[in-house]
Amino acid sequence: MTAFTPPDAAGAHLNGAVPLPLAGKRFVVTGGSRGIGAAVVRLALAQGAEVAFSYHRSAEAARALCQEMRAAHPGQQCMALPAQVGDTAAVEEFTAAALECLGTLDVLVNNAGVTRDATFARMRREDWDEVVETNLGSMFNVTRPLVMPLVKRRGGAIVNLTSAVGLHGAPGQTSYAASKAGIIGFTKALAKEIGEFGITVNAVAPGFIETDMTAQIPPERMEYVKALIPGHRLGTAEDVAHLVCFLASDHARYITGQVIEVSGGLLL
Ligand SMILES: NC(=O)c1ccc[n+]([C@@H]2O[C@H](COP(=O)([O-])OP(=O)(O)OC[C@H]3O[C@@H](n4cnc5c(N)ncnc54)[C@H](OP(=O)(O)O)[C@@H]3O)[C@@H](O)[C@H]2O)c1
């Protein structure tokens, strides 16, 4: 009987190389400059992928991440390209440039998103529009130019970032909840539509994760939220990135049309 040897940090077994789970997979990630998107970029590269990611306002953070990734993973491509995901023309330029750099595509991670929270009676139409355009409009803008390359090569994975708020609702977040619930419908419909081409489409629903997005939550509300989480703490961007990368890998090839929470057991 062969003795079991534990994998090292990179996942390679000491008595024989085990391929990295995302080796050679070409990723497009939106909103890779910060938070969950940046964690996905880091983990995907660590697991062997090539990555093109978009940024909007955080050009310097995007540049620094690319530089760090190129130094850490020489021989693997990492590039950052600007795109406001609610702007159809800007996204067309981004997706064309990403495809040109990568050659083709295996995985799309629709991650970029915003909140503009307010009670519904006080919500401004422009804030509603920004949230819906950024979070839900981007599903159309980014996915549409990239779906045919996936269909043509008869395989791939799309992972969309929704939210526990899209499943359960939350006060002060009607625009965000509506946009994230829309992503769930989009995910399920597209999964049914393109499954015959070997493409999976899933949604990841984080609860409360430590990023700039949750840093805006007032301390009293944060205490209330923590009390609702069985472990009484927020998740990390890496907690979410691990699920995203699993869903992008061939290990998840029989999982599609699903909405999977990473929320530490939060019940809103
Ligand atoms: N953090 C949480 O607790 C949580 C919970 C549930 C769901 N989520 C979802 O997870 C995703 C990532 O959230 P996060 O916490 O990492 O947020 P974050 O730290 O605020 O980062 C947001 C990312 O989205 C990009 N972005 C925002 N608006 C954009 C636009 N109009 N065009 C292009 N890029 C844009 C930002 O790029 P720039 O900085 O370059 O502008 C940034 O990279 C979002 O879809 C969010 O709704 C987060």
Per-residue pLDDT tens over the stretch 2-19: 344 444 444 444 456 788
Mutate to test the pocket of ligand 1, among 56, 94, 167 (most ligand atoms within 8 A of CB): 56
Centre of ligand 1 to C-alpha 36, Å, is: 7
Is the separation of the CB atoms in 40 and 18 below 8 Å?
no
List the domains of the chain with CATH numbers. 26-262 (3.40.50.720)
The pLDDT mean for the chain works out to: 94
Active-site residue, 176 included: yes
pLDDT tens for each residue of 151-165 = 999 999 999 999 999
Which pLDDT does position 161 carry in this prediction?
99
* 220 in contact with ligand 1, CB cutoff 6 A: no
Atom of ligand 1 nearest to the CA of 32: 43
pLDDT tens for each residue of 214-268 = 999 999 999 999 999 999 999 999 999 999 999 999 999 999 999 999 999 997 6
pLDDT band (50, 70, 90) for residue 1: very low
Mean pLDDT of 93-97: 98
Which pLDDT does position 75 carry in this prediction?
95
* 85 in contact with ligand 1, CB cutoff 6 A: yes
148 exposure class (CB count in 10 Å sphere: 0-12, 13-18, 19+):
exposed
Which pLDDT does position 18 carry in this prediction?
83
Is the separation of the CB atoms in 143 and 61 below 8 Å?
no
Is the separation of the CB atoms in 28 and 53 below 8 Å?
yes
Which pLDDT does position 84 carry in this prediction?
98
How far, CA to CA in Å, does 65 sit from each of 37, 45, 117, 183?
11, 11, 29, 28
Which pLDDT does position 15 carry in this prediction?
55
Percentage with pLDDT > 70 across the chain = 94
Atom of ligand 1 nearest to the CA of 34: 43
